[in-house]
Amino acid sequence: MANALPTVRLSAFYLAFFAVLGVLSPYWGPYLKSRGFDAAAIGSLIALLHVTKIVAPNLWGWVADHTGRRIAIIRFACLAALVGFSGVLVPGGDFLWMAAVMMTFSFFWNAALPQFEANTMSHLAGQTQFYPRIRLWGTVGFMISVLAVGEGIDRLGVDIVPAVLLFLFLLLAVVSLTVPQADRRSAERGDGRLMSVLRQPRVLGLLIACFLLQVSHGPFYAFYSIYLQDYGYSGTAIGLLWAVALIAEIGVFLLMPRWLPRFGPRRLLAVAMVLGAMRWLLVAGFPALAPVQVLAQLMHAATYGVYHAAAISLIDRYFTGGLQGRGQAIYSSMTFGAGVALGSFMAGALWDTAGGARIFLMAAGVAALAAIVAATVVPRRDSLYARSA
Q: Which of 53-57, 141-145, 216-220 has the lowest mean pLDDT?
A: 53-57
d(CA 345, CA 218): 8
Are 258 and 268 in contact, with CB atoms under 8 Å apart? no
Distances (CA, A) of 170 to 10, 57, 139: 17, 21, 19
pLDDT exceeds cutoff 60 at 33: yes
Mean pLDDT of all residues belonging to the chain: 86
Position 387 pLDDT exceeds 70? no
Answer whether residue 142 is part of any domain: yes
* Distance from C-alpha of 294 to C-alpha of 150, rounded to nearest angstrom: 16
Higher per-residue pLDDT: 196 or 185:
196
Q: pLDDT tier at 382 (50, 70, 90 boundaries)?
A: very low
Of 57-61, 76-80, 273-277, 352-356, give the lowest mean pLDDT range. 57-61
Q: Count other C-beta atoms under 10 Å from residue 251's C-beta.
A: 15
Q: Residue 231's domain spans which residues?
A: 7-181+192-388
Nearest CA-CA partner of 252 in 135, 385, 335: 135
Tell how far CA 371 is from the center of its chain. 19
Average pLDDT for residues 297-307, to the nearest whole number? 92
Q: Which long-range contacts (CB under 8 A, 24 or more apart) does 181-186 make?
A: 181/69, 181/70, 181/71, 181/119, 182/70, 182/119, 182/120, 182/122, 182/123, 182/125, 183/122, 184/68, 184/122, 185/122, 185/125, 185/320, 185/321, 185/324, 186/321
Residue 309 has pLDDT above 80, yes or no: yes
Q: Residue 234 has what DSSP assignment?
A: -
Considering only residues 292 and 92, tell me which one the structure prediction assigns the higher pLDDT.
292
186 falls within a domain: no
* pTM more than 0.85: no
Q: Is the pLDDT of residue 145 over 80?
A: yes
Question: In 3D, which of 290, 221, 268, 288 has the Cα closest to residue 49?
Answer: 221
Tens-place pLDDT, residues 52-82: 888 887 788 778 777 778 889 999 999 999 9
Here the CATH number for the domain that contains residue 331 is: 1.20.1250.20
pLDDT of residue 130: 73
Q: Do the domain assignments include residue 207?
A: yes
Q: How far apart are CA 128 and CA 319, in angstroms?
A: 14
Helix (H, G, I), strand (E, B) or coil at 379: coil
Per-residue pLDDT for 236 more than 90? no
Is 349 a domain residue?
A: yes
Rg (CA), the chain: 20
Number of domains in the chain: 1
CB burial readout 98-129, b (16+ within 10 A) else e: beebbbbbbbbbbbbbbbbbbbbbbbbeeebb
Q: What pLDDT shows up at residue 381?
A: 54
Q: Is residue 2 part of a domain?
A: no
Q: Is residue 369 included in any domain, yes or no?
A: yes
- Could you tell me if residue 365 is inside a domain? yes
Would 187 be classed as within a structural domain? no
Q: Quick one: pLDDT band at residue 168, thresholds 50, 70, 90?
A: very high
Q: Is residue 278's pLDDT more than 60?
A: yes
Instruction: Please state which of the ranges 19-33, 158-172, 312-326 shows the lowest mean pLDDT.
Output: 312-326
